[in-house]
Amino acid sequence: MIKVISRNILRFLMLVLLQVMIFNNIEISGYLNPYIYIIFIILLPFETPAWVCLLLGFFLGLSIDIFTETIGMHTAATVFIAYIRPYILSSFAPRDGYESGTFPRVYYYGLPWFIKYASLLVFAHHLVLFYVEMFQFQDFFSTLLRVILSSLFSITLIVVSQYFVFRK
């Protein structure tokens, strides 16, 4: 238990630093913005209570907002995915449920399962984030294109990280 908590604290800090120092500086044509910090919510243990997930989502989003001066946009998007995470996990659960001691990773449940699960969370995050940022429907389709392209880019980076960083 202590090992899992300390590992998640370290992961939290590293992802916030990576997002703020590296990934926030990547913008390709105004449409590709990778947001990999949400992998923290994606990889939380299955047994994480919903209220803890919401609290962690709040602090994760708030941390990014503080560094990027975005006044709650990342907080709103991250709390939203923390809220829908249990529903998405239950909809993709195996017939017998998730095995105790496993995590939502490629290693345990395979690439197709992980891509479906992570894609829904990433797309939901980006949808909320970019539309809260625009706060208007004037550029609805260009914002939707930005959501789709940034989601694909973020999902690609998150899946690649499963093979190089979060192997087991």
pLDDT in tens, 11-26: 899 999 999 999 888 8
Asked if 158 and 39 touch (Cβ cutoff 8 Å), the reply is yes
The answer to whether the beta carbons of residues 143 and 134 sit under 8 Å apart is yes
pLDDT for 166:
61
List of domains in the chain: 2-164 (1.10.1760)
Q: Is the pLDDT of residue 168 over 60?
A: no
pLDDT digits (tens, 9 = 90+) for 80-107: 999 999 999 999 887 887 777 778 888 8
In the block, residue with structure tokens 């891509």? 115
Place of tokens 């980076």: 157
Residue 31 confidence (pLDDT) above 90: no
Average pLDDT over residues 29-45: 89
- Cα 87 from Cα 41, distance rounded (Å): 14
Structure confidence at residue 81 (pLDDT): 97
**What is the Cα–Cα distance from 159 to 140, expressed in whole angstroms?**
28
Digit-coded pLDDT (tens) for 46-76: 888 999 999 999 999 999 999 998 889 999 9
Q: What is the pLDDT of residues 103-157, one digit of tens each?
A: 888 888 889 999 999 999 999 999 999 999 887 777 888 889 999 999 999 999 9
Residue reference for tokens 């001691």: 101
Strand partners, 32: 28
